[in-house]
Amino acid sequence: MPTVVRTAAELTNLGGPVALVPTMGALHDGHVQLMKHARPLADTLVASIFVNPTQFAPGEDFEAYPRTFDADLQRCEEAGVDVVFAPTLETMYPHGPDAGVTVDAGPLGSVLEGEQRPTHFRGVLTVVAKLFGLVRPDVAVFGEKDYQQLVLIRQMAAELCLGVDVVGCPIVREADGLAMSSRNVYLGAEERQRATALSRALDAGVAAASQGIDAVVTAARSVLEAEGIAPDYLALTDPDLGAPVPGQEARLLVAARVGTPRLLDNTGLVPHMSGHSPDSANSASEGA
């Protein structure tokens, strides 16, 4: 079983190099895949488990967020984790979660997820910066499901010279295509079936890539509409969340509520020149 530590002092004897997989617990196969991806990258593998209050806005599901610590430890053992860092709120926020220095996400933090949840990325980047400072990892592994988060953490690590190599791990999916998420447990049976429309919409977008940027978004939106799902956003961007360019790698991102749960998904593709118009990039990247 991994060693469980809760204070900064207990992190001082980690043998390096160190890999970190930050989580909020409620671990599933997707998290295990992140840890297995990180395992060969360092001598010591640390998984953190901390439900971070500052990335939840008022009215979001902080109190209801699933907490399954004993089961999480079993998952960590399965993945070869050496140390589980499960800090108290006081360890992470000694002056309280509403006080002290925070990390601003910059312009990319105000689009897509940031437009829907204006304080979210400030909370995410602040807690990740704190985890980097406490654990001092050489490499940190994050899932591509939260793609905008991955881009922003990479940007933060580079621009603030944190000395951490931020690695992305591909999305892990259920057999029916639904991206694995801790929030999937909130889906009822009928909602669970409807939720597969997100991955099916992405597949439709990929299939339409040869017809150009506009066709990608149109094809994806039609799948969502057929299930009565109105996305918070459906956007085609370049890999750094800028405007997509025909013939180059792009990212198709979607977020939508299916019942109560709010789900995210995305995929990579290369849109072709066909059907491209001068305003296509802007209209596609706005996308909601």
**pLDDT on residue 74:** 97
**Which residues is 18 bridged to in the sheet?**
44
Q: Would you give per-residue pLDDT tens digits along the chain (288 residues)?
A: 999 999 999 998 898 899 999 999 999 999 999 999 999 999 999 999 999 999 998 888 888 888 999 999 999 999 999 999 999 999 999 999 988 899 999 999 999 999 999 999 999 999 999 999 999 999 999 999 999 999 999 999 999 999 999 999 999 999 999 999 989 999 999 999 999 999 999 999 999 999 999 999 999 999 999 999 999 999 999 999 999 999 999 999 999 999 999 999 999 999 998 644 433 333 344 443
> Strand pairing of 250-257 and 233-237?
antiparallel
**pLDDT on residue 66:** 87
**pLDDT on residue 250:** 98
The secondary structure of 139-196 as a DSSP string is: EEEEETTSHHHHHHHHHHHHHTT---EEEEEPPPB-TTSPBP-GGGGG--HHHHHHHH
What span, in angstroms and rounded, lies between the C-alpha atoms of 124 and 65?
16
The secondary structure of 59-128 as a DSSP string is: TSSTTTS---HHHHHHHHHHTT-SEEE---HHHH-TT-TTSS------GGGGSTHHHHSTTHHHHHHHHH
Annotated catalytic, 37?
A: no
**pLDDT on residue 98:** 87
What span, in angstroms and rounded, lies between the C-alpha atoms of 257 and 136?
36
Q: Is the pTM of this model over 0.95?
A: no
Are the beta carbons of 246 and 272 closer than 8 angstroms? yes
**pLDDT on residue 243:** 97
Catalytic residue among 28, 31, 37, 120: 31
Sheet holding 262-269, edge to edge: 233-237, 250-257, 262-269
**pLDDT on residue 254:** 98
**pLDDT on residue 143:** 97
Q: For the chain, which domains are there?
A: 3-169 (3.40.50.620), 182-286 (3.30.1300.10)
**pLDDT on residue 288:** 39
